Amino acid sequence: MSTDDVPAQPAPAAEEDAVDTTNEPVAPQSIPVKIKLPSGSEWKVSCFVEETVAELKMNLWESDEMCYVAAYELCVDGGVLDDYSTLNDCPLVQPDCTIEVRRTPYCMRTLCLHIGRLLNLQERPDPDCALPGILDSLEELESVVRPAKQKNEQQQQQQQQQQQQQQQQQGGKVSANKKKKAKKKKKKAAAAASNSSRARSGAAALAEAFSVAACTNVDVCQIYPSLDKLESDALVAIRVAPSRWGQPSASRAAQGDLAYLCVETCDGQAYEVTGSTTGFFLNKSTKSKFNPNAASKTFPELPPLISSVNSAFEKAFEEVLHKRAAMGQLGPYLFDRVSATHGKQSWLAPFRQQPQVGEPGALLYLGDEVAYGPHGMSQPLRPPTDVARDWNAEVQSFRDMQNTSMMDAVARDRGLHSVQTEFIDAATEGALKIVNKDLLPANPQDTPSLHLFVHNNIFYTYANGDKYEDEDGVLAEDGDDQFAYKLSNNDILGTSIYNHAAVDGLHTVMTALITLKGVRVFAQAIVPGILQANPAPVVYGSLTHGQELAWDEEVHGLMEQAAQCLFLATQKYEAGDSTSHPMAASVTTKCIRATDGRVYAMDLDCPSCPDPAWGKRWAIYRPELLRRYVDYCQRAHIMAARQKVAEKRAEQAAAKEAAAKAAAEKGEAEAENKEEKEEAKNKEASASGAEEGEKTEEKASAEEDELEVDIPAFVVPTFNPNYGAVRLKGKIAESDETMEALKAEHDKLATYLQNIAVPSAANDILSSELPIDSEKMRFLLQARGVNLRYMGDLAAVLPPVATFHRVLVLKEMLVRTAKHLFNALIGEVPTHQQAAATAHFATCLVQGVGGLIFATLKKAKPVENVHTLEMEKLTKTSLHRQLIALAAAYYKTEEAIFEQLYKEGEEHRISLLRSFCLKTGIRLRPRAFDFSRPIAPNDIAGIYPLVKTSLPAASTALRCMDAADNFMAQGDLNSAYDLYSEALSCCHHTTGPLHYSAAMCFLKLADVLSRAGDVAKAINHMQYGIIILERVRGLDRHDIAVAYLTLAQYLETAKKPLHALFMYKRALFVFLVLGGGRHVSIGSLHLKLGRLLQEVEAHQVAVEHLERALEIIENVFGPEHPKTGDVCHALAQACSYLQQNKRALDLERRNYEILTNVRGEAHELTKQSGIWLKQFTLKAVQEARVARESTTAQLASGSGIALGDGDETPLFSRPIDDILKYVNSGDAPKQTRRARHPFPSGRRVAKAGAMFPSPLPQRQARGEGWCNVPVTPSPAAG
């Protein structure tokens, strides 16, 4: 779900669902109870007294015995508990009481739920919302760790055997049989050989899994499962389908038969089963004959019945339960079985075949009831889709609920969230029918662009900019294609802002914006009375762009309260008919009084003031900008007042000092004449001086208080939403002074945006420690109040050396322009050609970046009207030339700025394709994308709708999280943990476990536990948070990569380097998908991988990662930066383990030089580097000495030594300079074939030995060896 125009932070000070702060929320009370299962075992749970009995039944699904049982009731002391009553309302439920599970007769509903739950247990992973991220990482981890564990276990067993043998030898029990000893030696040798082979295989697997090529291979199949893997992972023990004999007759129904089923087991056996009120039994029906009589005894559930006649099913079903229990240990089981409130938006999805009836995920029709495969037990049966719901009445009734207590607030939030998510699903379903031409318009005789639709009590209109006309039939704003498109975005933004204002008595309408295949549909809940013959009157605002103005004093008071939260001014507006009224909102905003008596604010497309830099009606400032500007002005006001007070105090201090100096001079003159009197009155003067000092201090403090009181009050700046608005037929009716002040305030706001907001946003992007994608960049910009249309100014502010960040901004501008062009062209393509057209457009877009020369590209000419383009005739050159022209015109920048993108964009192709697909709703089949060949139509998995809306927040949970954040800042971990846990409970009751807020609670709890030292629980909570994020957000988002990094750090703290390696690898992969291949944090990740690989003794692979880290960090920071020296030090250590001492010495010497130049020789790090430098020097000297000794031995034996330059001439047949170079190089000698010499080897070697004197003692003391000693030839050498 897209939220491009939803504010990053609530602009108003008040929140929509704010709870009365006068009544502090009281945490719900929990009580422990015992549940006695049908088998007689007891299950202890802790539940809240405000929970219903139905919610308590949901907890029973975690039990292996009750995971598929549906027909039962809960009893206490013989009394039956009502499913819809809370535990607090049941007097029999007391702490530590025993609740008994009693089976009940089946009905059609419980029968369907039982079968649906049974199918859910064996459901294959959903390719659209599977959880391969962390699960696949752990499975891959086990495949590498298991051989290492086996090796350690075998080594321990060998040590134990050796100890036993030693004890036997000491006790005199050793046998004298030599054959037995020989056998034992053979067994030891075989065990050692097997251990070494296992070690080699484990090291090879480790090197293969963590090589640089494996970690940097951006193959999306590594993170998204393929269809073959999904099929292989699925374990189907049973399939259930309705029998061919139909439903029971009236006579059989009178005997208790509910349904006839055809059950097929995993071994291909088929059984005819009757589902009755008492349970399940086999009937005597066959494929050709119907006989409903029982052929077996009745079982309470279906699995025991099939297990009694089929052993293969019994084993398969046990494996299903075992797999479920294994998943339950990790935690994702409940998350995997609970459906998310709204589907996540993904850009990759493998082809999915439609499940057959009876398979998991299919609908099982049994009479008038429907058992939903993936939702059978997670929620009650859905109401029929043909039943229209009054969406507005439902949501307004929940908004009117009281929220004085925590439980009331949670119930209110839960109702609002439930209704609005169901409204989004219904609105999306209706929009799909409109796009596919399956729904007739209510006004078929009008222009197609003005068609209106009504479906399921939802009102639909088109919001396509290129076809939008205003009320006068004139194309909006002289053919501005962005008019209706932007106004619909602004309406979503305005609805969200007014909801957060939470003005009592002012209501908004549920709204959703659905985009599919270039068609935009605007959906709203129907307000009572708006579609009647006499529609509800407009009581505030204008229907004619300011020509006529409606006004109501009561409604004006409500709008004034909202304007105070939005920093909007209340000023008079004179309409075109000369009537004037004070307006607290844009004149295009309308308020109606519906037939239900409520006041609804509609057409909230101008919740802020217009942006004069663009000169369009749709161009408005973001509300966050107004709030930040007000905070900026308030800080400036406080600083100016403090400066003024400080100046006054300085003046007073100077005056006092001058007066004191004059008094002192006068006192000295009088003291010369009256020394005796002063000595007599010394004591009296000291006492009076002390009193005067106290009075002076009191007077100074009073003056300071007086100065602080004199600080003028801060006047909050306000802005008129009608100032500078275009196409309005009225004007602001204020005095000239007021208009000048208004103009000055708006000019200051524009200056603040250009000079402070945009540079601050650029600094936020530059200061990001990790690679960010377009979504994270959008969040940073909107948090500063900067609209995305200012990305041209942002790219100009970013320094040229910030290559990654500039390419990110340029790529975002290009992709957003490509989105609009694609939406404009795809609607004109026939349906049967849309897959091929989409693949062709994506191929031209991706292959052009990094594959075209910008100078050549600028020679082409773009077309003036994009609608004249034909999708199938597009080329890389024509498409990118058009995109550059459109992007430069819209973002008000120069075309030459895109040259950097085409130079360095080849490595950003995968992120470019991902961003384009996310913005257009395209889903691709995951594969290893080779952009040298085009994207095929079969790679298009579909085009899905994009929904933009404003979902209500879990206000109670957010308040608890805010309070917990404050305690975390103060260091109170206990209070923070309690509040985060309370927030998590509120999220579960409000939005369900699969929600972004619940994931954030888990991550915050993990942070608290890690700070408290409980790393094991922190790891578990972090896993839960990652699982929810993957289900809700997708597998390749920025926040998920950050969560993987945090989890890796926890695992590293827990001394689990192998586990941490896989988490670092997953985070690195996600960042590479996001396009951060050259970001400095990628180098840091390679550095961490290299250091962890050294811990697991994979030194060769560690050297590869450290070399890549050195390449990236040196490219970003330069060769003289301390971070470059840090990587050099790590690489030197890794090379030392591999006995590459000379290279280690050179790297450490480089680190020492960097630290000396940057930090100085006296710095602690420089001293440590000096110590390492000495150690590496000694190792290099030892290596050179060993090489010299080896050379001497080879010379003594008469062997020829080759210099490695391709010349086979023996060493001693070379000139003396070559011999000296070889000795000083320190390289290991190479053994060559034996050469013939014209002289005896012994005498020549003796003379040659005199050529190489030993190092001087002074050089040995300094750690210098053969590699540094100059060699002087003796006279005998001539």
pLDDT tens track for 619-638? 899 999 999 999 999 999 88
Distance CA 902, CA 858 (A): 12
pLDDT at 191: 54
* Contact indicator for 1031, 344 with CB cutoff of 8 Å: yes
Q: Which of the listed ranges 163-172, 812-821, 1222-1231 does the model predict with the highest average pLDDT?
A: 812-821
Amino acid of residue 893: T
Q: Kindly report the number of other CB atoms within 10 A of residue 275's CB atom.
A: 25
pLDDT at 330: 45
Query: How are beta strands 30-36 and 98-103 bridged, if at all?
Result: parallel
Cβ-based neighbours of 518, under 8 Å, separated by 6 or more? 464, 822, 823, 824, 825, 826, 827
pLDDT at 47: 77
Higher pLDDT, 223 or 43: 43
Mean pLDDT, range 39-52, rounded to an integer = 79
Write out the H or E segment, with its range, that includes residue 968.
helix 955-970
Q: Which of the listed ranges 725-739, 1110-1124, 1231-1245 does the model predict with the highest average pLDDT?
A: 1110-1124
User: Is the pLDDT at 189 greater than 70, yes or no?
Assistant: no
- From first CA to last CA, the distance across the chain in angstroms is 86
**Cα 1113 from chain centroid (whole Å):** 25
Query: How are beta strands 571-574 and 580-583 bridged, if at all?
Result: antiparallel
**Dihedral sign from CA coordinates of 862, 863, 864, 868:** negative
Query: Cα separations (Å) of 1218 from 15, 171, 1202, 1205, 1226?
Result: 83, 65, 11, 11, 13
Out of 677-691, 1187-1201, 1229-1243, least confident range: 1229-1243
pLDDT at 433: 92
Cβ-based neighbours of 380, under 8 Å, separated by 6 or more? none
pLDDT digits 0-9 by tens, 130-148: 344 455 555 555 555 555 5
Q: Kindly report the number of other CB atoms within 10 A of residue 1016's CB atom.
A: 9
Question: Which band of pLDDT confidence, cut at 50, 70 and 90, is reported for residue 370?
Answer: very low
pLDDT at 379: 35
Q: Which of the listed ranges 510-524, 676-690, 799-813, 941-955 does the model predict with the highest average pLDDT?
A: 510-524
Cβ-based neighbours of 500, under 8 Å, separated by 6 or more? 10, 11, 12, 14, 15, 16, 565
Mean pLDDT, range 498-513, rounded to an integer = 90
Strands, E assignment, 254-355: 257-265, 270-276, 280-282
* Contact indicator for 678, 689 with CB cutoff of 8 Å: no
Helix and strand counts by DSSP (H, E) for the chain: 41, 27
pLDDT at 431: 92
Phi (first) and psi of residue 1012, to 5 degrees: -80, -10
Cβ-based neighbours of 749, under 8 Å, separated by 6 or more? 609, 621, 625, 626, 629, 719
Question: Which band of pLDDT confidence, cut at 50, 70 and 90, is reported for residue 166?
Answer: low
Label residues 1153-1164 b or e (16+ Cβ within 10 Å = b): bbbbeeeeeeee
User: Is the pLDDT at 447 greater than 60, yes or no?
Assistant: yes
Question: Which band of pLDDT confidence, cut at 50, 70 and 90, is reported for residue 1220?
Answer: low
What's the CA dihedral at 203, 204, 210, 216 to 10 degrees? 160
Q: Which of the listed ranges 3-12, 343-352, 1131-1140, 1227-1236 does the model predict with the highest average pLDDT?
A: 1131-1140
Query: Cα separations (Å) of 486 from 493, 651, 669, 702, 748?
Result: 11, 56, 84, 58, 25
pLDDT digits 0-9 by tens, 392-440: 999 999 888 887 888 888 888 888 888 888 899 899 999 999 998 888 9
Question: Which band of pLDDT confidence, cut at 50, 70 and 90, is reported for residue 1266?
Answer: very low
pTM, 2 dp: 0.78
pLDDT at 1006: 94
Distance CA 1047, CA 1035 (A): 15
* Contact indicator for 1212, 1247 with CB cutoff of 8 Å: no
Phi (first) and psi of residue 861, to 5 degrees: -110, 130
Question: Which band of pLDDT confidence, cut at 50, 70 and 90, is reported for residue 357?
Answer: very low
Distance CA 345, CA 371 (A): 26
User: Is the pLDDT at 604 greater than 60, yes or no?
Assistant: yes
pLDDT at 840: 92
Phi (first) and psi of residue 942, to 5 degrees: 150, 165
Mean pLDDT, range 508-529, rounded to an integer = 91
As given in the structure block, the two tokens for residue 289 are: 């004959």
Q: Mean pLDDT, the chain, as a whole number?
A: 77
Phi (first) and psi of residue 248, to 5 degrees: -60, 145
Query: Apex CA 1200: angle with CA 1196 and CA 1205, to 5°?
Result: 140
pLDDT at 453: 92
pLDDT at 38: 85
Query: Cα separations (Å) of 451 from 424, 425, 447, 454, 1007?
Result: 21, 22, 7, 10, 53
Distance CA 1252, CA 1037 (A): 64
Higher pLDDT, 244 or 590: 590
As given in the structure block, the two tokens for residue 997 are: 């807020």
pLDDT digits 0-9 by tens, 661-671: 887 777 666 66
User: Is the pLDDT at 373 greater than 50, yes or no?
Assistant: no
Higher pLDDT, 200 or 712: 712
Cβ-based neighbours of 154, under 8 Å, separated by 6 or more? 191, 194, 195, 198
Which residue from 1203, 1196, 1199 is spatially nearest to 1228, judged by alpha carbons?
Answer: 1203
Question: Which band of pLDDT confidence, cut at 50, 70 and 90, is reported for residue 327?
Answer: low
**Dihedral sign from CA coordinates of 1102, 1107, 1113, 1117:** positive
Q: Kindly report the number of other CB atoms within 10 A of residue 1277's CB atom.
A: 12
Query: Cα separations (Å) of 760 from 234, 673, 786, 948, 1041?
Result: 51, 69, 10, 28, 25
Which residue from 277, 336, 266, 333 is spatially nearest to 303, judged by alpha carbons?
Answer: 266
As given in the structure block, the two tokens for residue 873 are: 């005739």
Distance CA 56, CA 59 (A): 5
Strands, E assignment, 584-726: 590-593, 599-602
pLDDT digits 0-9 by tens, 917-961: 999 999 888 877 778 888 999 889 889 899 988 777 778 888 899
Higher pLDDT, 177 or 443: 443
pLDDT digits 0-9 by tens, 859-915: 778 877 777 778 888 888 889 999 999 999 899 999 888 888 888 777 888 889 999
Question: Which band of pLDDT confidence, cut at 50, 70 and 90, is reported for residue 349?
Answer: confident
User: Is the pLDDT at 459 greater than 90, yes or no?
Assistant: yes
Distance CA 1244, CA 1240 (A): 7
Cβ-based neighbours of 1174, under 8 Å, separated by 6 or more? 1263
Out of 492-506, 709-723, 817-831, least confident range: 709-723
